[in-house]
A and B are shown apart, each in its own frame.
Chain A
């Protein structure tokens, strides 16, 4: 009888028993994350004003003091140097070759030799050009297409590991024997060994977003270029123009690229830094204005805006001319 009354009392409970379904830890964590943090708070925090003595700057989504940035970037590039070219192919699905080819072709380095006049070759400075792929293209274009055998390229990089990859590339090259390429380990913000007004063409491809002080580097570029010399920069942009393509591109950047870095190179952090540094780079308009501020004249680009978008805005070519 007591068991019946027990069952009966259960049936006639005033409040129904509360049933909380069991949720595994991972799912519970994801739900609390989704429910409690509103969408706007979930983005990486912008660099905050810190009461520190040193100027804070960004390192990807982290905020660090400016004095540390060069060494942190140095560590990243020392780590990626050995499979830099392979990783570039995998991350951009080979499209980086098209961008670099277009960049060099549009610059048309080399002076076509005219009969009679004996002229000295162009002096080109390739900044952050460690592994030498832009320098290789510049020299090939000048020699093969313009028939200029006197053009000289100085490859400069702050990172010795990247420079040694460049040296390896040029080790058996005819350009080395003809003394048309040399290597300079230097910080682009100070180039004391390069005289002012001595460079015809200054190129920087996919390097300037890693500089601690881009404006200082731009002013240094202005100093070393001859009047009439050309500053050319190939760099990633933080956002694409088309928002649907941008959504796909961002998911590729933040999902696939660190994963490829982990599987191929064993280094997720460096590739995470690379995609975060792209996100932190100024937009094309802002960067064009920075170039103008350094004193350059900026010619109208593809749409007359002062830069040229490549691949729907994934990368952009910025050019400036030092006034005569």
Chain B
């Protein structure tokens, strides 16, 4: 390395207070946890911008949404969320136990066996309705503090539970509503930035979002307790309505039902029009 930058070497041999910013792309500190990649501020900014545009143009790139979240969470937001967890007894227990939700320990077959109207059953029912399975989320890599990295990982893994207790579907409209709720609840910048995907909504959907789901999300997100403090593994047998009442979350109008009704209505109108035309021509 000495023959690498002979002209910069004298600068880097300066006393430590002047060399405190020696952390650079060529000089990364050792990782704090497995998979950790320490990034400089420029790299983090570039990752944020690249992930933002990449995920806007290709919404199937979940890893870009994940890295956008990690790149924008520091300096303040993930620390605030961490502190919110530390201020709650259940949150502190979660931080001590560090439970992980993966496709292996959340088995759909077991969840379906849970009592009627329990959280586990509601989660299984939601997964079945949407046609998805609980999958292992991308590991957090770009947050330096190991405990804050765990907080981010926990938020990522419990996102599906938020979907389940609100009943919002995985289509883009539902995802936007959940993200708006999460922004009001967790204040993570990535959730607010995801709302830019609003431009992908059709006019009917936009109108619905503005009039129904966005107000619901903001109202409930601010009113509700921190969802990140819910110990989901222990709440699987709790009654869903009890949990919702405890957290202070109202159920939004069922989005899939609304869309289905509109589709059926349109189809009926179309058939009626076609019949008229046939009747007129015949």
Say yes or no for B140: interface residue by CB 8 A criterion. Answer: no
| B12 engages A26 (CB within 8 Å) | no
Q: How many A residues touch B, CB cutoff 8 Å?
A: 30
A1 CA / B20 CA spacing, docked (Å) = 48
Say yes or no for B25: interface residue by CB 8 A criterion. Answer: yes
Over the window 27-45 of chain A, the binary record of Cβ atoms lying under 8 Å from chain B Cβ atoms (1 yes, 0 no) is: 0011101110001101100
Say yes or no for B61: interface residue by CB 8 A criterion. Answer: yes
Over the window 245-262 of chain A, the binary record of Cβ atoms lying under 8 Å from chain B Cβ atoms (1 yes, 0 no) is: 011001100111001101
Q: Which residues of B contact A26 (CB under 8 A)?
A: 74, 144-145
Task: Report the minimum CB–CB distance from A93 to chain B (whole Å).
Answer: 15
| B2 engages A40 (CB within 8 Å) | yes
**Which residue in A30, A251, A259, A268 is a CB contact (below 8 Å) of B20?**
A30
Task: Report the minimum CB–CB distance from A45 to chain B (whole Å).
Answer: 11
**Which residue in B23, B26, B29 is a CB contact (below 8 Å) of A254?**
B26
| B2 engages A243 (CB within 8 Å) | no
Q: Which residues of B contact A24 (CB under 8 A)?
A: 75, 79
**Which residue in A25, A35, A262 is a CB contact (below 8 Å) of B145?**
A25
Over the window 23-49 of chain B, the binary record of Cβ atoms lying under 8 Å from chain A Cβ atoms (1 yes, 0 no) is: 111110110100001001011001100
Say yes or no for B5: interface residue by CB 8 A criterion. Answer: yes
A242 CA / B200 CA spacing, docked (Å) = 49
A39 CA / B8 CA spacing, docked (Å) = 11
A255 CA / B61 CA spacing, docked (Å) = 22
Given A247-B8, A266-B63, A30 contacting B29 (CB threshold 8 A): yes
**Which residue in A33, A260, A262, A264 is a CB contact (below 8 Å) of B29?**
A33
A40 CA / B3 CA spacing, docked (Å) = 11
Over the window 44-71 of chain B, the binary record of Cβ atoms lying under 8 Å from chain A Cβ atoms (1 yes, 0 no) is: 0011001100100000010110010000
Further pairs besides A243-B4, A259-B47, A268-B141: 15, Cβ < 8 Å: A24-B79, A25-B148, A30-B20, A30-B23, A33-B30, A34-B16, A34-B20, A34-B22, A42-B27, A246-B5, A247-B8, A250-B4, A251-B24, A263-B50, A266-B64
User: Which residues of chain B have a CB within 8 Å of any CB of chain A?
Assistant: 1-9, 12-13, 16, 19-27, 29-30, 32, 37, 40, 42-43, 46-47, 50-51, 54, 61, 63-64, 67, 74-75, 79, 141, 144-145, 148
